[in-house]
Amino acid sequence: MIDIQLARPVDGDALGEVHAAGWEAAYAPFFAPEFAAAGVRDRRTRWHARIANGEGAILLARVAGRPLALSWAGPSPHRPGWAEVFGFYGHPDGWGSGEAGALMTRTLDRLRAAGHTRVHLWTLREAPR
């Protein structure tokens, strides 16, 4: 069972673990080891402040109760009238479970309900996932 909810302040550590593990698996190989290690550490600590500051909608997907994916989206600061998916990460333990598709659908539904008709995101072209 996949459960998707708005992230709460208590979810900050879980979001950090999902973000760090997903980023490390997908992107760390593109960077020098020291930079990658610092990136993993930093990603574990960002989410408490983002939740507290109300920086967009942050959704957390749980599979059988375990946090395994996150999305962070809101109005684009670069393209007026557009929404942006600022972050979309899945823990490697959840890859193949279906949580990413369910989470993206929920993310886009929320953006549509907020009146957005266009959305963008970026990723590294060479990233395998």
What is the rounded distance in angstroms from the CA atom of residue 15 to the CA atom of residue 58? Answer: 9
Phi then psi for residue 33, to 5 deg, are -55, -40
Bridge-based pairing state of the strands 83-90 and 66-75: antiparallel
- Find the mean pLDDT for residues 60-81: 95
Bridge-based pairing state of the strands 57-63 and 83-90: unpaired
Question: Which pLDDT does position 129 carry in this prediction?
Answer: 63
Helix (H) or strand (E) holding 42: helix 33-43
Both tokens of residue 85?
A: 């998916």
Query: What pTM, to 2 d.p., does this model score?
Result: 0.92
Question: Which pLDDT does position 125 carry in this prediction?
Answer: 78
